[in-house]
Amino acid sequence: MKKQTLLLFPILLIAIFLYGFKKFVIDEQKTHLATNLDIRVEQKVDSVLALMHLNEKIGQLVQYSGKWNATGPSSSNGDQHKLNKLKNGEVGSMLNITSVESTRETQKIVMENSRLKIPLIFGYDVIHGYKTIFPIPLGESASWDLDIIKKTASIAAKEAAASGIQWTFAPMIDVSRDARWGRIMEGAGEDTYLNAVIGVARVQGFQGDDLSKSNTIAACAKHFAGYGFAEAGRDYNTVNIGEYELHNAILPPFKAAAEAGVATFMNSFNEIDGIPSTGNKMLQRDILKGDWGWNGFVVSDWGSIGELIAHGYAKDKKQAAEIALNAGSDMDMESYAYEAHLETLLKEKKISLAQLDDAVKRILRLKFNLGLFDDPYKYCDEAREKNNVYTKEHLAIARDAAKKSIVLLKNETKLLPFSKNLKSIAVIGPLADDKDAPLGNWRAKGEYNSSMSLLEGVKSAVGNNTKIYYEKGGDLTMPTIKPGDNQFLYPLRFNTTDVSGIPAAVEAAKKGEVVLLAIGEDAFQTGEGRSQTNIGFFGVQQQLLEAVYKVNKNVVIVLMNGRPMDISWAANNVPTILECWFLGSESGNAMADVLFGDYNPSGKLPVSFPHNVGQEPLYYNQKNTGRPYSPSHVTYSGYTDAPKTALYPFGFGLSYTTFEYKNLKLDKNTISKTEEIKLSVEVSNTGTRDGEEVVQLYIRDLVGSLTRPVKELKGFQKTMIKAGETKTIYFAVNADMLQFYTINKKWEVELGDFNVWVGGDSNAPLKASFSVTE
């Protein structure tokens, strides 16, 4: 194949030249991540750039979505335009082309027709698995287990890479604090630090230590920036935050991803304080590429360059292209603005050749690092596509990740774990035998109805002596999504009033020794464009819950959902609640592992659960205000009709055992800015089962040049503690934990007093204090 490719090169000189590249790349085993420039790669990038005509340079900045059949583009006009551009070498990347056959065919168009034969890079939204589906990112974040998170990202990369893909548009590291926002399901929730460490784990999982390996893919930190702070939780909405909040709350996960060598960034649809991110020079050029010295490329979000017009920030596409390129948006995803206008803009000196070249170089750099110049078809391997995808091993990892993501919210009567010798179990609810919802939104190539339902998981966990009574009880009423359907075209129809299934469910509940009630959300109630003002139970679920609970108190609510929900009635009335998110391919098995005690739940909430939607946005790391809320002043910075605090706070989650924290000690109480404190705490497992605990460390800077949050997560350790055992856990409290973006517009530690808390959730009661002095 390589020989053939060489023979097809029209210009001999170029052929020899590119052959030289290939040898170079083969000699050089290690691929270097974007932050570490490799001089040999840079030389190759410069040599290619020197050969490129203007149309080819602009072409590298163009990304199209494929609407292709297996053997190439279909014949509509749009596709003909794309086909011609591919042939001319005027496309840098394609998204949404998935399969070895399709990527090979598309790559071939470029390799066999274009002058310079610069390979395409194929991108796809591989968000929580490719075909083996792992828990939705918010759910998986509840594991607080960086090893399993890294592992699932690496499996997703392996499967995607085996199908011809080299680039995922993940991880989403938008700090998100509003349950109404549908995309809260895609990230790690409300905390800045947790988003940073989980984001880095995902980047490392996708990219591995060598991008040129055929089982790793380039990652994309998105959405830069502030997308999760959309006003009122409405997707794409305006973001109004100040410069300091931007630096302290939103940017740290992005900086961490850049430092971890993430290959690409995607900008965001929203504006911040009047400037849409796609046109935000301060964010993309000054901070990301300037201050942070990051060398990857920024892809626009879908059509976001064109959307500068709707924002009222550009009068037409030409001006939009000018603004976006000058602001540092390197690749145009589906706006058709760069291909149409960059040449004229260059002639008119509205953009510079240096900036255009810089964008091209960033894209070529990644193509070299991925090994695409060495072999443009290296990701196209039918055998790997057949054997490396959706394997038993991958499903076992999916089960492991899923059980670790489950959060036990309530177990007041110690109903859980169940014995496997129960005489009967009633399995009830619209989600109880749903084999599709657990795949969640953004399920890539996860096949319709391919997950293990709760009912199936329970059946396979118990013996023949346990009788199972299943009743659906009612509908969630989302229309069925079939493979290939465009979920955006579906009307939102949730509220069924059909209660005809409830009597049968009540009868089943009466017969069951215990009841599993699977309620929550449909998979597509969260995700892009899925904002809601009601975060409670849709349809007849609340009626079903109350009717079932009336006849059998041994009910376990098995929640499946993509956002924090208003479950206040359930929390006030039903003693047992298990938060199961959308757990992916192995959902039912993982739930059974926890329900029957084969796995002791260890998940902790990455987002606060409110008493009601009116509390949103709700997050623990808020500011104190001048009139702080307290039990004696509930109206201060609070509400007259609802608590101010969360129903279930950030970091919360129970276990089948109990943990006790004591003896919080600091080895010193005064340090200089550069010294560190050794903190220790004893954590005892006071129950009768072994269990894992997430030991969390929170810090407050009491007085600052800017007001500081009432507490912030600064570290955690997930550790197994045997029944009866006491472990001493150590943290080093250092400048990294104490610094913030101060009034001086710098990250620095300020002198003064600090509080530190350690515990099993964000209400951690054990507290100590220390000071930073000259």
Please report, as ranges, the residues that interact with ligand BGC according to CB under 6 A. 125, 169, 222, 301-302, 528
**219 contacts 207 by C-beta, under 8 angstroms:** yes
Tokens at 724, concatenated: 């009866």
Least Å distance, CB 430 to ligand BGC, is 28
Contacts of 272 (CB under 8 A, 6+ apart): 225, 226, 239, 240, 241, 246, 280, 283
Distance (Å, rounded) from C-alpha 379 to C-alpha 381? 6
717: left (phi > 0), else alpha (psi -120 to 50), else beta? Answer: beta
Closer Cβ to ligand BGC, 222 or 611, answer by number: 222
CB of 96 to ligand BGC, least distance (A): 7
| Per-residue tokens: 307 | 């959307």
Q: Could you tell me the smallest distance in angstroms from the CB atom of residue 358 to ligand BGC?
A: 23
Q: Which is nearer to ligand BGC, 266 or 431 (CB)?
A: 266
Residues with catalytic roles: 301
The 8-class DSSP code of residue 453 comes to P
With beta carbons less than 8 A apart as the criterion, state whether 559 and 648 touch.
no
Of 222 and 700, CB closest to ligand BGC: 222
Region label for 564, one of left (φ > 0), alpha (ψ between -120 and 50) or beta (otherwise): beta
Min dist CB 169 to ligand BGC, Å, is: 3
Rg (CA), the chain: 27
Nearer to ligand BGC, 301 or 471 (CB): 301
CB count in 10 Å sphere of residue 413: 10
Q: Please state, in angstroms and rounded to a whole number, the distance separating the CA atoms of residues 578 and 580.
A: 6
Pick the closer one to ligand BGC by CB: 9 or 302: 302
Taking the least distance from each CB to ligand BGC, the nearer of 257 and 683 is 257
Query: Two tokens at 157?
Result: 């990369």
Q: Which residues pair with 520 in a beta bridge?
A: 560
Q: Which is nearer to ligand BGC, 216 or 335 (CB)?
A: 335
CB of 223 to ligand BGC, least distance (A): 6
Nearest to 231 by CA among 625, 709, 617, 620: 617
Give the list of residues 6+ apart from residue 354 with CB closer than 8 angstroms, or none: none
Where are the strands (E) in 103-200, listed by range?
121-124, 167-168
Classify the phi-psi angles of 462: left when phi > 0, otherwise alpha if psi is within -120 to 50, otherwise beta.
Answer: beta
DSSP 249: I
CB atoms within 10 A of CB 8: 12
Q: Cβ of residue 171: shortest distance to ligand BGC, in angstroms?
A: 11
Give the nearest distance from C-beta 600 to ligand BGC in angstroms.
35
Token couple for 315? 């009068």
Element (H, E) at 410: strand 407-411
Structure tokens at 536: 């409670």
For residue 364, give every residue at least 6 positions away whose Cβ sits within 8 Å of its Cβ, in sequence order, or none. 45, 48, 49, 60, 118
Measured from the CB atom, the residue of 265 and 757 that comes closer to ligand BGC is: 265
Largest Cα span, the chain:
83
C-alpha 397: how far from chain center: 18
Q: How far is the CB of 497 from ligand BGC (least distance, A)?
A: 33
Q: Which residue is nearest to ligand BGC (CB)?
A: 169
> Is beta strand 691-701 parallel, antiparallel or unpaired with respect to 712-721?
antiparallel
Minimum distance of ligand BGC from residue 167's CB (angstroms): 10
Q: Which is nearer to ligand BGC, 141 or 541 (CB)?
A: 141
